Amino acid sequence: MAVIEAGTAAPEFTLTDQDGNEVSLSDLEGQTSVLVFYSLDFSPTCTDQLNVHQEVLGELEEQGAKLYGISVDSAFAHKAFQDHLGVTIPLLADFEPKGGVAKAYGVYIEERGHSRRALVMIGPDLEVTWSYQASTPLEIPGANLIFDALEEQRAA
């Protein structure tokens, strides 16, 4: 299964963040959101991935993008991971049913029990406007991809 394509209605979800708050797709209406799918809290590559996105978070927000990290870890693990890294990106728990949102967005690896590294941009109308899936688990989708997608959106 491939990552969800642009032009598709974003699949509905309600996930719990690191502070126990529910975040639903409907909460993203009216803004440009980027779902940052990553494998697991505390893995070395995921740590690097979230640090990369945190470094440019202010610039992304200035350009109108709100980021949300999503992995199959629990909200409690997300809180510990967020505190450990010092990141402010909301981390959403795709915990139960495990990987349900990752499956809906086409990025779940069944045999591994976690998602691929992927970025999914959702427009204000809750339609997928852009997506990217890393070619290998070691590839960190750089923030430049998000900046480029935002630029393409503005040019369209």
Per the listing, tokens 């995921």 go with 46
For strands 114-115 and 108-109, give the pairing: antiparallel
Neighbours of 58 (CB within 10 A): 10
Which of these is catalytic: 46, 65, 107, 120?
46
Instruction: Give me 121's structure tokens.
Output: 């941009």
Q: Which helix (H) or strand (E) holds 21?
A: none
Neighbours of 146 (CB within 10 A): 24
Has 109 been annotated as catalytic? no
Active site residue ranges: 46
